[in-house]
Structure 1
Amino acid sequence: MGRGRGGFRDEGRRMGFRRSRGDYGPVLARELDSTYDEKVNRNYANSIFVGNLTYDCTPEDLRDHFSEVGEVVRADIITSRGHHRGMGTVEFTNSDDVDEAIRRFDGSYLMDRQVFVRQDNPPPESARERPPTRDRKERKPAGQYGQSQYPTYEVFVANLPYSINWQALKDMFKECGNVIRADVELDRNGYSRGFGTAIFGTPEEMQAAIERYNGFELEGRVLDVREGRNAPGPEPVAPAPEPEAPEAPEAPQTKVLTEGVVGGGERNNMIYCSNLPFSTATSDLYDLFETIGKVNNAELKYDAHGQPIGVAVIEYANIEDADVCIERLNSYNYGGCDLDISYAKHE
């Protein structure tokens, strides 16, 4: 007999759960719950995140279900202070099984509940320094990239979404030609300053990139793409003038979505999340909150000095996903911090 959708039946008690009042899920029996260190010290490249689980789903249920794809190294239920959060992770022996698990099981039913399956991503660490980023690289003058002494052609990109890193920027411009190198400028704290550059080998590729992406809307921001300072002109005798300072701020600032927004609002499709780890990036917001549903926009909030304050505003495509987000992720332990999530409102 199938288990009830989101219910808590005698079968759940036999499997090691006990009900606790005042929380969103039952307490998972200690023998079924792994330690925090055991959960986070896994190979994320070989792991999947599974959301919208019933509260009576156990690690063994996850292991049995996803063993159809390949060998499972470990399976865990995500908990907060011992309480089942309706989420889990499964680690395989290789990344190919991850792709296959997402293809086969995203949107499928597990124990009478439709689940979503995503690539697993490590949470930002609040207790120790974020791993070194590869976004900032040593700048070299035109014609000095790699071993080539041929001219190179640079495009400057302003008004980039803060979630875009150097790899995403390089991938974006690949359709315009061979991208020799891409950079996103970071502040001293490792956060994107909202602008970057891409280097091409020919002027035709540079012009194609400008024509393709100048004025292009990306994550709600309109890109400003033009020739960079290292793009050789038709008369290279005189150096090209420095471009004007980009419109992007020198440090991350509170933006339109977050401006004047607080928590504790009436039911709507925007949520207010506080107590985030200060190392959280915008891309982390999309990774976390799109496990619930489509996110139209997500922005971190910063103080007057451009420093993170552990607050974000997330706009879902529909109000039902905001409901589920509050139900599932409020008090969820993320990067060592218990999130505080409510509906957003303007002061």
Structure 2
Amino acid sequence: MSAEDLPEESVMRIGKRCFVGNLAWRVSWQDLKDTFRDVGNVVYANVMKDDNDRSKGWGIVEFETPEEAVRAVNELNGVELSGRKMLVREDREDRDVKQYNRENGIPNSRSRRGGPPPRAQGRGTRAPPPAEGKSSGLQVVVHGLPWSYKDDDLYAMFEEFGAIDHAEIAYGWDQRSRGYGTVRFSDVDSVTEAIKSFDGYELEGRRVTVKLDKYA
């Protein structure tokens, strides 16, 4: 779908920024800018880094217009950059989207990048409380995560599928990631989409598996 195919309101709400995941460690903000300028006028590009100045494997690209952001998602999602296939989608923290929502009385979804996760605001069919020893149908276990991923990164990875109650990385006794985590959604439709989209996905050289949590 192109920007021309979208109603004006939809284009406005998409905003001008894209989230770019699964970046190779050596990719810099300049590499991002050079890659994304093929689809539009890039006014801002940044690769997020940890406290040790190492790439966290994701970044943000902002364009001059929402139409250019739509084109970036359509044309660059899944394209290889430095040996890895980029994950390109709209940035849910886009300030233009939030301003538009405020002006039109639309609640903004809250990301772990900007505060605590939303509670029980999901769309779709809610599952009943689980019986003892049975799955609620709302939680997934995600294996094969990059070792550098923290709770915020896991949350950002899955937030496009619906409201998330929590996203947690499992840590060992040494406080290092064990390479897996859990994500709990507020509706079962989001779980289905998350599994369909990310089960078997390659992320930073690791094969991600996403399965329904049978015990939560």
Q: Which has the larger radius of gyration?
A: 1
TM-score (norm 1): 0.33
The structure with more helix, counted as a fraction of residues: 2
Bigger relative contact order, structure 1 or 2, given CA contacts below 8 A and separation 6+? 2
